[in-house]
A = this chain, B = another copy of it.
């Protein structure tokens, strides 16, 4: 492989990332309904068909943004979980980090967990960062708890509900902290 081909591939990879970033920024700034192939092409300063040489279509761009988000969320949750796996505190920290992530990047969160997708969840083809993020919840429960996966599912569901209803203006946006505290108390606090 020649040096020239090499440079080309590097530039191509850069442009690939540029498209993903542009889509994400445009979505955060104006919502996903404003992310059209025309506006995206204009933003990356190429014509529309160039997008299709990188992605199979608009859905694939959205999927790429979501996958980027899964990686960032996993890191965020990992950093939030303290070394000591003392259930209530660890769980509270990870849950708070999750809600903060959703609130800070509403459009990204929407691409990951709300918009239609064909990304496989809880499946062999699940992107590793997504599984890693889920495991952060699992690891908030004692290893001897045979139902820790189930606890993690319920916790994650509850957090998603709070994040989604809040982002959609369907629940008091303040009071998120109170809800978080109550959730953690109830999930971790008894049997």
Contacts and interface: CB of A to CB of B under 8 A. Distances in A.
Interface residues of A, number: 37
A113 interface: yes
Contact of A157 (B150, B153, B165, B189): B165
A184 to B, nearest CB: 10
Interface in A35-67: none
Given A117-B168, A158-B158, A147 B187 contact: no
User: What is the copy number of this chain in the assembly?
Assistant: 2
Contacts of A189: 190-191
A74 to B, nearest CB: 15
Interface in A128-183: 147, 150-151, 153-154, 156-162, 164-165, 168-172, 175, 178-179, 182-183
A182 B117 CA distance: 28
B171 A157 contact: yes
Q: Is the interface of A mostly helix, strand, loop or mixed?
A: helix
A113 B172 CA distance: 14
Interface of A: 33, 113-114, 116-117, 121-122, 147, 150-151, 153-154, 156-162, 164-165, 168-172, 175, 178-179, 182-183, 185-187, 189-191
